[in-house]
Amino acid sequence: MTDAATTPALPAAPPIRWVQLAIGVLCMAMIANLQYGWTLFVDPIEAKYHWGRAAIQVAFSIFVLTETWLVPVEAWFVDKYGPRIVVMFGGVMIALSWWINSFASSLFMLYLAAVIGGIGAGAVYGTCVGNALKWFPDRRGLAAGCTAAGFGAGAALTVIPISRMIASSGYESAFFYFGLGQGLVVLVLSFFLMAPKQAYAGQKKNVRVPQSRSFARPMQVVRNPLFWLIYLTFVLVATGGLMTAAQIGPIARDYKIADVPVNLMGIELAALTFAISLDRIFDGFGRPFFGWLSDRIGREHTMFGAFSGAALAMYALANWGTNPIVFILASAVFFGLFGEIYSLFPATCSDTFGTKFAATNAGMLYTAKGTASLLVPLASLVAASYGWSAVFGVIIALNVTAACLALFVIKPLRAKYIARSNEIVPAHAAMAAGASL
């Protein structure tokens, strides 16, 4: 079932772990545009080549698939060789990806760039999240949330510059210059990354959520039905979030509000630019906040509240989204609630299956995002046949289902599993002590 490992009294974690966390956040910020900035390029590419939105969005799905499904392999390299070399490789790959996009004149080249970018982004993402979980066993939700916040909010500061460069110099220039710049920053930061030399206990007495004191190897985890139930819940929520992230630009244009000037808090921007910028900010701040909250009230309670709130925000977008202000605020709230899956699920995985193989196990769970991405192009097809209201209805149903699964199914099953696995630790420790006599 699990490999038991006793938890001896360990020294308090050193201050350097906060430096490692900050480096991880910056690395994540540099790969954010590969996903969240993509929506800015869809219509300019379509205007030039007329391939169709659905065909262009296949590149988004390919990116997410390769970004997520290869993370377990990349995480294995991290667990074995450390984070530095893997992130270094990721920096080179993300720069190469957008460089290819800058001159891609066929769908094949666009898809090839998506594969390369996905591999690079996955190497950075899986490494930084796994490293945070290892440095912060006492604050897993917060650490995973802060790291994921870099990915969620990283595009916020560059949305306006990218939009302006696309308008003034063409989307090709935006791909070229931002791609090389982002890749270079990741490459430099990779030299400063390191894994902890021992599993720091932090302040275990302050941990308020159930945690397993034993650890499960990756092959044991994938044979556990509880893992797949958590995986399914991740897929449900990720599907709705990725659909919205990929389609927010087309939705705004179909609602004829994309270029409508909106003034909020003394800032005036076009509605779409405003929405994407605010979405990234809310997404970014939501990840550490809900991670921190889950460290105190529990993972499943936090999931239930966030998923239910996301369903309400999507309901508002579906019914009043043609109002530019409602569009901006409702989408921002939705992404602020959606982004917590990238802090809560890795923390939940490590709480349940232990820290020793945290990078690999969390990486396997992260492939749920790739599975969800397979459904993203369907949003364009459903919208073309039934309108965006049908797409919103599906997203609402997915979030409500996930909320119920988290609180009423996963919570009791996970509590039983952790209690059972923790009973094994003293037994194994006693056996080891007896064998040494």
Residue 196 has a pLDDT of 83
pLDDT at 206 over 70: no
Q: Which of the four pLDDT bands, split at 50, 70 and 90, describes residue 10? A: very low
> What is the phi/psi pair of residue 129, to 5°?
-70, -45
Per-residue pLDDT, 150: 85
144-168 pLDDT tens trace: 899 988 887 777 778 789 989 999 9
* Domain range for 153: 16-196+217-426
351 near 279, Cβ under 8 Å?
no
Is residue 201 domain-resident? no
Our count of domains for the chain comes to 1
Name the least confident of 189-193, 265-269, 402-406, 429-433.
Answer: 429-433
The answer as to whether 139 is a domain residue is: yes
Q: Is residue 157 part of a domain?
A: yes
Rounded CA gap, 319 and 195, in Å?
48
**What CATH number is associated with residue 77?**
1.20.1250.20
Mean pLDDT is highest, among 3-17, 23-37, 141-155, for 23-37
- pLDDT at position 137 over 60: yes
Residues counted in the chain: 437
Distance CA 257, CA 252 (A): 6
* pLDDT greater than 90 at residue 116: yes
- Residue 227 scores a pLDDT above 90: yes
Per-residue confidence band for 320, with pLDDT thresholds at 50, 70 and 90: very high
| Cα four-point dihedral sign 355, 358, 361, 362 | positive
Residue 54's pLDDT is 80
Give me the mean pLDDT over the 204-219 stretch.
76
- In the Cβ-directed half-sphere of 124, how many Cα atoms lie within 13 Å? 37
* For range 406-423, the mean pLDDT: 92
For the chain, the straight-line distance linking the first and the last C-alpha, in angstroms and rounded, comes to 27
| 202 lies in some domain | no
- The amino acid present at 352, given as its one-letter code, is T
Confidence check: pLDDT of 198 > 80 = no
Residue 425 has a pLDDT of 55
Q: How far is CA 17 from CA 23, 221, 320, 348, in A?
A: 10, 27, 45, 21
Residue 4 lies in a domain: no
In a domain, residue 10? The reply is no
Cα–Cα distance for residue pair 59/309, rounded to 1 Å? 30
| Weakest mean pLDDT among 130-144, 229-243, 284-298 | 130-144
Does the structure show a pLDDT above 90 at 36? no
Residue 180 lies in a domain: yes
User: How high is the pLDDT of residue 424?
Assistant: 66
**In 10 A of CB 168, how many CB atoms?**
9
User: Has residue 9 been placed in a domain?
Assistant: no
Average pLDDT of the residues in 321-337:
95
| Residues pairing with 267 in the sheet | 264
Burial class (CB in 10 A: 0-12, 13-18, 19+), 205: exposed
Mean pLDDT of 225-250: 92
Residue 111 confidence (pLDDT) above 90? yes
Say how far apart CA 378 and CA 306 lie, in whole Å: 25
pLDDT given for residue 199 in this prediction: 55
Average pLDDT over residues 127-147: 88
